[in-house]
Structure formats: C-alpha cells, structure tokens
Amino acid sequence: MSAILDAPVLPTYLKGRDFLNFLEYSPEELQELLTLAAQLKQLKRSKTPHKLLEGRSVAMYFEKPSNRTRVSFEVGIFDLGAHPFMLRKEEINLGVRETIADTARTLARYVDCVMIRTFAHQDVEELAQWSDVPIINGLTDDYHPCQVLADLLTVQEKFGNLKGRKLTYVGDGNNMAHSLMLGCAMVGMDVTIASPSGYQPQPEITKKAQELGAVSGATVVISDDVKSAVKNASAVYTDVWASMGQEAEAEARKKVFREYQVNAENMALALPEAIVLHCLPAHRGEEITAEVLEKHADIIFEQAENRLHAQKAVLAAIIK
C-alpha cells in the first residue's frame, strides 16, 4: 500500500482547539489541515477505512438550514468512526431555554465536539468560551471557515500551489468574503473583493486580513470595480447576493448587484486557466450565469466534495 494510503499521523498540538474563524491558527497549522484533508480524501476515494475517532461523538446544532454542511459533516463523522447527533433549534433554542454557558457545559459532558451553524458569531464564541470540548463554526453571519478550508484545498489541487496566486471574490462582502480574505492572506494568496459601496466587508476584518497578508506577502484589496478586480485572477469566486436572513432584501439587492456577476465577459479578463468557485447554492442568472457555471461545473462540485474532506481534517485534528 502506498504511503499516502497509510493512516495519517494526526497533529497532536491541535487537540482540543476550537475552529471558529482561522484567527486561532497559524499559517503552518492551516497548511497542516490542508495536508491532512488531502490524505483523508485519498483514503475515502480508495475506500480505505480510517476510523480515527472510534468511539467519539459529535453534536451538530443547526439554526440555519443546510444541505452541504449537514450531509458533509454527518458522513464525515461516520467515516471517522464517531457518532453524529443532530440537534434542532426547537430542542436547544440557544440562549433562550437556558444560557449559552449552561448549554455549553452540559453538552461538553455528553459529547467530544460540537459543530454549530447559526446567525450571530458572538454566540459561537460564547459557546466556545464555556465549553470543555472543541467547537467548530459551521457558519455564522460573519465567518464560514469550513467552506474556505475546502476552497483552499480545491485551489491547491488545481494549481499545485497557493502562494502567489490571485483569488477574486465578486459579490456581497459577507461571511464568505471575510473568511476568504483571512484564509487567502494566511497562505500567501492575493485576494481581491469586488463589492458595491455599502456592501463591502467589515473594515476591522479587512484590516486583520491585510495585517496577515503583510506577513505572508499577500495583497488584500477591496474594490467596487469588477473588471479590474477579475484581471489576472487564477480563481474567481462568487456567492448568492442575499444570504440566509436577508430574504426581505433580495429584490433590492438584485438591482444593487446587477453588475457584480460572474459571466463570460468578466471571465475573459481572468487568466486563461482560471477556475470558477461557488459555495452553493447557486442562483443562475443572478450572481453567475448558467453558461459559466456549467462550464466550470466539474471544479465547483469538486469544491463541494472537498467540504467533506476539509471538515474531516478539522474533526480528526481537534477532537481529543
């Protein structure tokens, strides 16, 4: 059996760590997770058992509905030999039925890890503050680190390297924009966020990403000009114009974001080998044309698959 199909050696120094927004990790640790994700992907595809978390249990709490997050985490937990437990909002009602501190201290007596997908990022931080077991951010209004770990894995697989590449994100300066800025800056990828005025990323997160970029040699640019932003990009990324919780703004946002679309005209300005990424679900004809999505469908759905492998790497690395 080839070496890559052997059981990976888990980085013990990550045991017990939370995974909230990348800022708790060094660039070297982030790369360690990407390496582990690639190894776990090989094991999965070769159908080689890798029950690295035999006997462990993971609680999954959802306040926001999910397709990819729910399925990829549940399958990943099973793959690793652990037991997933689905917790619904009406069962937990975080911070309402009891304090977040009490919920955290209770769950920590039952399970080995908690994955939470919710709205307010401060709720995840408070849960982590009081929990004796690791907390994984499955998505909040401010950050989506699990998705971006999968995105970085996808770019690395496609081009063989991350440092020096340019990723351009076109759309709302939302949780995806925030996590892409931080993740790309940490690994040395140049990143440009193209968003209309009033919808750009939070200034304090942009500043932090630029500080990280100053160390890694990456540039972090915020622009309202799609065409200049896309020029010479290796990867062009987009997301829906109205995220969960913004449904009432959807029609108004269509007018604001009309020019912020990934289409053939804009892709012609990127590098000839450029890929298109989308965290899904996609609204064809809005943030991306059907033509461009289908042209790049193979890489987009590889990116979706990589959620499974990236999240397994986090689970395997942090659960004690």
**Residues near 44 by Cβ (< 8 Å), separated by ≥ 6?**
50, 79, 308, 309, 312
Is residue 151 part of the annotated active site? The answer reads no
What is the pLDDT tens value at each position of the chain, 320 positions in all?
Answer: 344 577 898 989 999 999 999 999 999 999 999 999 999 999 999 999 999 999 999 999 999 889 999 999 999 999 999 999 999 888 888 989 899 999 999 999 999 999 999 999 999 999 999 999 999 999 999 999 999 999 999 999 999 999 999 999 999 999 999 999 999 999 999 999 999 999 999 999 999 999 999 999 999 999 999 999 999 999 999 999 987 677 778 889 999 999 999 999 999 999 999 999 999 999 999 999 999 999 999 999 999 999 999 999 999 999 99
In degrees and rounded to multiples of 5, residue 141 shows phi and psi of -65, -20
Task: Out of 17, 56, 112, 147, pick the active-site residue.
Answer: 147
User: Domains of the chain, with CATH numbers?
Assistant: 8-34+48-143+308-318 (3.40.50.1370), 145-304 (3.40.50.1370)
pTM (whole model) above 0.85: yes
Q: Is 146 a catalytic residue?
A: no
Please identify which residue in the block is written with the tokens 């990143």.
191
What are φ and ψ of residue 262, in 5° steps? -90, 105
Q: Identify the active-site residue in 17, 278, 296, 307.
A: 307
Catalytic residue among 50, 68, 117, 178: 117
Least Cα distance to 229 among 186, 203, 260 occurs for 260
Say which of 239, 278, 296, 311 is annotated catalytic. 239
112 is catalytic: no
Which residue in 178, 189, 153 sits closest to 21, CA to CA? 178
On whether the CB atoms of residues 54 and 82 are closer than 8 A, the answer is yes
Nearest to 112 by CA among 89, 146, 83: 83
Residues in the chain: 320
Q: Cα(85)–Cα(87) distance, rounded to whole angstroms?
A: 6
Is 132 a catalytic site residue?
no
DSSP string, 21-90: SSTTS-HHHHHHHHHHHHHHHHHHHTT----TTTT-EEEEEESS--SHHHHHHHHHHHHTT-EEEEEEHH
Is 307 part of the annotated catalytic residue set? yes
Active-site annotation holds for 190: no
